[in-house]
Amino acid sequence: MSIFIQNGTIINEGLSFIGGLFVENGIIRTISDNPSDFPQLREKADEVIDASGMLILPGVIDDQVHFREPGAEYKATIATESAAAVLGGVTSYMDMPNNNPPTCSQELLARKFKKAEQDSLANYSFYIGASNDNLSELLATDSRNICGIKLFMGSSTGNMLVDNPQTLDAIFSQVHSLIATHCEEESIILANIGAAKKRFGDEIPISMHPSIRSREACIASTTKAINLALKYSSRLHILHISTAEEVELLRKARLQSDRITGEVCIHHLWFSDSDYEKYGSLIKCNPAIKSSSDREALRQALREGVISVVATDHAPHLLSEKETPYLKSPSGIPLVQHSLRAMLELVRSGVFTSTDVVRLMSHSPADCFKISRRGFLKKGYFADITIVDPNKPSDASTISKCGWSPFTGFSTTVVHTLVNGVPVVRDSRLTGLNSSLPLSFDD
């Protein structure tokens, strides 16, 4: 199968130009900014897509999603959430291990890969989860086939907290794969919950969330992770950084080691603590959304390259679950379908440039995880391509199984999504085609 995409604005590796791409058998064969090449390429193609007035982008790579399968299929599955992903221009994802049962063994990991092979519309990889007693399973991980090891240094959905100091030392000293950390100090959080219960009883207001899952908890845990990584020269990737102080910790750490990187999530770039009054528990997440000054520090860190990756931490729950009282309401926001459009909205408001968006959501995740031949529009690379109409408004309806999102309408529309050269989304609708593959990683 061959496709020629013509007349769109190609955004790739800091450049923006009107051009065309010729795709054959799932691979990008030609990229041209010369209109005189187009007639021959059109003639060769089985299909021509006219992208006039549209943006042609490398597909988004999301390094942190929770698709809830196995164990919570009533609110999300690999099939439903990967469909939401490709509708949002996400062509590859990395799914977290806090399932039921937790994906803490090679056997359970293999089951998830098998399920994705059957059901996923986007390319996929899965983290294996660390626990206080599964070091042998972590050491058996093949970093050429697995995106990394997920280490919960703070509890979250699934309760996979690793808090044994000897275990942490062993993981950072012996594991050679990428270690992706959720950094919140549990003892600080528990003390904050205790103080809030004394003050409010069981009726803790949602506005207390950033005080309970506090900046101090994030800073303490991130400091611990960085110190361990520097001590053992570990490959550390700090997930969902949420405070200005953590930005500075990362900045200093990267002066000592280029093996330490960071990620920030869409909701920490979009909302601030002033939004709890409007959205309530719908924006309850871990780590908590914090102040507008923290949000600005995160945005600046992305512009400067201190933080290299933007992801979603897509974490669906039923609306009926989210609307329960604070202590019962689960943390997490569904947004994999909306992440690219949200970032392009921030381009429209002057926060980022379109080349920033491509760097942060496609290029840098590919570089960070050493993903083989993805994340760029390059000759010889897999044809994971997202085509966006920047001037066609779209609503915020979501097809995630949970059926809701706190995000509102956008000024842009994802029109076409190609996964390995196959249009899985055409004219903003699923085609029913499936060409997904497991991600592979370079040494």
Residue that the structure tokens 């690219």 belong to: 340
Q: Tell me, what's the pLDDT at 397? A: 82
Average pLDDT, the chain: 96
Q: Indicate the DSSP class of residue 69.
A: T
Report which of 228, 264, 227, 226 is spatially closest to residue 244, judged by C-alpha positions: 264
Q: Tell me, what's the pLDDT at 44? A: 95
163-181 core/surface letters (b: 16 or more CB in 10 A; e: else):
eeeebbebbbeebebbbbb
Helices (H), 131-243: 135-139, 165-174, 186-200, 209-212, 215-232
Neighbours of 295 (CB within 10 A): 22
Q: Tell me, what's the pLDDT at 156? A: 59
* Mean pLDDT, each 10-residue run in order, the chain (443 residues): 97 98 98 96 97 98 98 98 98 97 96 98 98 94 95 71 92 97 95 97 96 98 98 98 98 98 98 97 98 98 98 98 97 97 97 98 98 98 98 88 93 97 97 97 91
Gap between the Cα atoms of 142 and 81, Å rounded: 26
Q: List the chain domain ranges.
A: 2-57+379-430, 60-369
Q: Tell me, what's the pLDDT at 159? A: 60
Rg of the chain over all Cα atoms, to the nearest angstrom? 21
Q: Tell me, what's the pLDDT at 211? A: 98
Per-residue pLDDT reduced to its tens digit, 97-110: 999 999 999 999 99
Please give the helix or strand (H or E) that residue 150 lies within, else none. Answer: strand 149-152
Q: Tell me, what's the pLDDT at 408? A: 82
The architecture CATH gives domain 60-369: Alpha-Beta Barrel (3.20)
Per-residue pLDDT reduced to its tens digit, 2-11: 999 999 999 9
Gap between the Cα atoms of 412 and 341, Å rounded: 6
Overall fold of domain 2-57+379-430: Urease, subunit C; domain 1 (2.30.40)
CA-based angle 330:103:59, to the nearest 5?
Answer: 80
Same fold, 2-57+379-430 and 60-369: no
C-alpha distances out from residue 85 to 226, 300, 339, 378, Å: 31, 27, 9, 22
Backbone angles phi, psi at 166, to 5 degrees: -65, -40
> Do 302 and 386 form a contact (C-beta atoms < 8 A)?
no
Total residue count of the chain as it appears in this document:
443
Q: Tell me, what's the pLDDT at 193? A: 97
Please give the helix or strand (H or E) that residue 269 lies within, else none. Answer: helix 266-270
